[in-house]
Amino acid sequence: MRKTHICSGIFLAAISLLFLVWIIPAQTSPPDSALDLAPKFIPSLAVTACLVLSLLLAVTAYFKREGNDDLHEEFGVEATGMGLTEFMNLGIWIGASGLAWLGTVYVGFEPAMIVFLAAALIFSGMRNYWLTAVIAITTPIILSQFAWYAFTTEMPGFWRT
């Protein structure tokens, strides 16, 4: 397990560096003016977070003592692999994601994400319906406002055309 974490961390760090040094700069264009947010900012931020976390994974695994293996249920002889339940869950999440995308395109971000987030919370086992409603309603609205005020990007919605 320790070797797996070290190798995974190093591999993910190398891939992240590849993205930061070559792929993102080569595939994004410069901003149109000095006040615009560079198109490579968000991808670079996400990949930098991945780089930091992968290095953290490798370093913590390197300094971790043997025998204290917390994450072992799907490694080694205990590995069960993908079964029918996992494939059904994967199919449900793929279908729900597709419906959320279609809802975002044809209805709008806020209403589609309210329904998707509420369904995801209930499917994941959250049974406090008041809290589910509060989270499902406020999160898309806050994200939409953040996208507008931070990036001047309007989320899709039929009422905004």
Q: What is the pLDDT of residue 156?
A: 85
pLDDT tens for residues 108-135? 999 999 999 999 899 888 889 999 999 9
Q: Please tell me the distance from the alpha carbon of residue 107 to that of residue 60, in angstroms, as a whole number.
A: 45
Report which residue type is found at 154: E
| Residues 6+ positions from 3 with CB-CB distance below 8 Å | none
DSSP per-residue letters across 79-99: -----HHHHHHHHHHHHHHHH
Of 157, 131, 129, give the one whose Cα is nearest residue 143.
Answer: 157
Residues of the chain with pLDDT under 70: 1, 31-37, 66-81, 161
